[in-house]
Structure 1
Amino acid sequence: MENQEQKKRDTNKIYFLIAVIVALLGTNMYLYFQKNKSDQRIVTVSDEKTALQTELEKLETELDQANNSTTELSTELKTKDDELKAKIAQLKTALNKGTLTAGELAKAKEDVKQLRYFVGKYTADIDDLMKKNAALTGERDSLKTTVSNVKQLADNLSKVNDSLYTKVKAGAALKTSQIQIGAFKIRNSGKETDVTRASTAQKIKVMFTVANNPIAEKGSHDIYMRVLDPAGNLIIGEGGSFTANDQDLQYTYKTAIEFNGDAKTFTLDWTNRNNFEIGTYSVILYADGYTMGRGSFSLR
C-alpha cells in the first residue's frame, strides 16, 4: 500500500516538472518572438529614416541646380528658396535625432512629401522664368537687328539722297556748248581791233554759248573766270575767291548773266592791267559751283 502511494507521489512530481518545463519553454518562445519583432521594427524605422534623408539630399541638390542658372531670381522666388532650404535643414535635424516616435516619423514623411511638391513647383517656376527670359532675349536681339537694319537703310537712303542731290545740282549747273577767245587792242578812238601780238594786246573777249538746261535755275547766275598765263600762273584780277568742284579758288574776273533755260550766247570782256607775254593762255569759266567750260588763246 505504501509503495503505491509512493509511486503516485513520484508521478505527480514528474507531471509538475513537465508542466514547469513547458511553461519555461513557452515563456522563452514568447520572449524570442517579441525580441524578433522589436529588432525588425528597429530595422524598418532605420530604413525609413535613411530613405527620408536621401530624399532630402535630392531635394537640396535640385534647389542648388535651379539656383545655379544665370537667371536673375525675383524677390518672391528668393524668399521661397530661403523657406525651402530652412525646411530641409529642419527635417534633416529631426531625422538625425537618436530616436523617433511613430508619430514623429509619420509627420516627417508627410513633411517631406509636401516639400517635394513645393520644390517641384519652385523649380518649374524657375524653368518658366528662364524660358521667358530667353524669349525676351530673342525679342531684344531681333529688335536690335531690326533697328540696325533700319539705321542701315536710313544711311543708305541718305547716301542715295546725297548722291541724287549732287547729281541734280551738277545737272542744274550751267555749261558752255562752245567758247571762243580773242585778244584785242583798244585804239584812241575807243575802237577795238583784234591782234595776235603780245606787245599790242590789251584785253580779251570771251564769247561763250550756254547750253540749253531746263532744270537750271532761271535768273541771275554768277560767272567766274580764271586766266592762266603761259607759265600756268593765275593772273590775279579783282583778287576775290569762290568755291567750285569742292575747292576754294581765286578768280581773275567775275560777272553775272541772266539765263532763262534756253541756249544763249554771251560775251565777257576782261582788260589786263599788266602786259601780256608771248605764249598760250588758258581761260576757265565757272558757274553754280562747277566748271562751266574752258578755252585758250595764243600770242606771239
Structure 2
Amino acid sequence: MENQGQKKKDTNKIYFLIAVIVALLGTNVYLFFQKNKSDQRVVTVNDDKTALQTELEKLETELEQANSSTGQLSEELKVKDEELKAKIAQLRVALGKGQLTAGELAKAKEDVKQLRYFVNKYTGDIDQLQKQNAMLTGERDSLKTTVTSVKQLADNLSKKNDSLFVKVKAGAAIKTSSLQIGAFRSRTSGKEIGVTKASTAQKIKVNFTINTNPIAEKGTHDIYMRILDPAGNLITGEGGTFVANDQELQYTYKTALEFNGEAKNFTIDWNNRSPFQVGNYTVILYADGYTMGRGTFALK
C-alpha cells in the first residue's frame, strides 16, 4: 500500500515535468514567432525610410534641374521653390531620426506624396514659362526682323526720294542748247562792232536761249559765268564763289535774269579789264547749281 502511494507520487512528478517542458517549448515557439515579426517590421520600416530618402533625393535633383534650365524665376515661382526646398529639408530631418513610429512613417509617406505633386506642378509651371519665353523670344526676333525690314524699306525709300529730289532739282534747272559768243569794241561814237583780233577786242557778248522748262522756278535766277583763257586759266574777274555740280567754284562774272518757264533769248555783256590774248577762249554758264551751257570763241 505504501509502495503504491510512492509510485503515484513519482508519476505525478513526471507529469508535472512534462507540463513544464511543454510550457517552455510553447513559450520559446511564441517568442520565436514574435521575434520574426519584429525583425520583419524593422526591415520594412528601414526599407520604407530608404525609399523615402531616395524619393527626396530624386525630387531635390528635379528641382535643381528645373531651376538651372530657367534664366530667371518669377516672384511666385521663387516663393514656391523656397517652400519646396524647406519641405524637403524638414522631411530629411524626420527620416534621419533613429526610430520612426508607424504614425510618423505614414505621415512621412503622405508628405512625400504631396511633395511629389507640388514638384510636378512646379516643374510644369517652369516648363510653361520656358515655352512662353521661347514664344516671346520668337516674337521679339520676328519683330526685330520686321523692324529691320521696315528700316531697310525706309532707307531705300529715302534714297529713292533723295535720288528723285536730285533728278527733279536737275530737271528744274534752266538750260541752254548753245552759246553764241563774239568779241566787240566800241567806236568813239559809242557804236559796238564785232572784231576777231585780240588787240582790238574790249568785250564779249554771250547770246543764248533758255529752253522751255515748265517745272523750273518762275522768277529770278542767278547766272554765273566762268571764262577760261587760251592757257586754260580762269579769268577771275569779280573773284566770288558759288556751288554747282556739288563743287565750289570761282566765277568770272555774275548776273541775274527773269524766267517764266517759256523759251527766251538773253545776252550777257562782259568787259575785260585786261587785254585779250590770242587764242581760244571757253565760256561756261551755270544756274540753279548745274551747268547751264558752254561755248567757245577765238581771237587772232
Deviates further, 70-79 or 267-276: 70-79
Q: How far apart are residue 4 of structure 1 and its match?
A: 4.7
Q: How far apart are residue 55 of structure 1 and its match?
A: 0.8
| SS class of match (2:255) | strand
Structure-to-structure mapping, 1:255-266, within 5 angstroms? 255-266=255-266
Distance (whole Å) between structure 2 residues aligned to residue 221 and residue 128 of structure 1 = 72
Query: 1:12 matched to which residue of 2?
Result: 12
Q: How far apart are residue 7 of structure 1 and its match?
A: 4.5
C-alpha contact (below 8 Å) 1:181/1:295 kept by paired residues: yes
Q: TM-score, normalised by structure 2?
A: 0.95
Distance (whole Å) between structure 1 residues aligned to residue 297 and residue 178 of structure 2 = 14
Q: How far apart are residue 5 of structure 1 and its match?
A: 4.6
Distance (whole Å) between structure 1 residues aligned to residue 255 and residue 96 of structure 2 = 108
Q: How far apart are residue 62 of structure 1 and its match?
A: 1.0
Which residue type is aligned with residue 250 of structure 1?
Q
Structure 1 consecutive aligned stretches of length 4 or more whose deviation exceeds 3 Å: 1-14
Q: Deviations over 1:30-63 (max 9, x none)?
A: 1110111111011001001111111111111111
- Give ranges in structure 1 of 5+ residues lacking alignment: none
Deviates further, 195-204 or 233-242: 233-242
State the identity %. 79
Distance (whole Å) between structure 1 residues aligned to residue 129 and residue 259 of structure 2 = 73
Query: 2:59 matched to which residue of 1?
Result: 59
C-alpha contact (below 8 Å) 1:71/1:133 kept by paired residues: no
Query: 1:79 matched to which residue of 2?
Result: 79
Structure 1 residue 47 corresponds to structure 2 residue 54 = no
| SS class of match (1:216) | coil
Distance (whole Å) between structure 1 residues aligned to residue 194 and residue 258 of structure 2 = 27
Q: How far apart are residue 9 of structure 1 and its match?
A: 4.0
Structure-to-structure mapping, 1:133-282, within 5 angstroms? 133-282=133-282
Deviates further, 4-13 or 136-145: 4-13
| SS class of match (2:204) | strand
Q: How far apart are residue 207 of structure 1 and its match?
A: 1.0
Give me the CA root mean square deviation: 1.5
| SS class of match (2:103) | helix
Query: 1:68 matched to which residue of 2?
Result: 68
C-alpha contact (below 8 Å) 2:285/2:292 kept by paired residues: yes
Q: How far apart are residue 6 of structure 1 and its match?
A: 4.7
Query: 2:290 matched to which residue of 1?
Result: 290
C-alpha contact (below 8 Å) 2:70/2:126 kept by paired residues: no
Which residue type is aligned with residue 259 of structure 1?
F
Structure-to-structure mapping, 1:91-102, within 5 angstroms? 91-102=91-102
Q: How far apart are residue 260 of structure 1 and its match?
A: 2.2
Deviates further, 162-171 or 23-32: 23-32
Distance (whole Å) between structure 2 residues aligned to residue 36 and residue 62 of structure 1 = 39
Aligned residues: 300
Distance (whole Å) between structure 2 residues aligned to residue 28 and residue 93 of structure 1 = 39
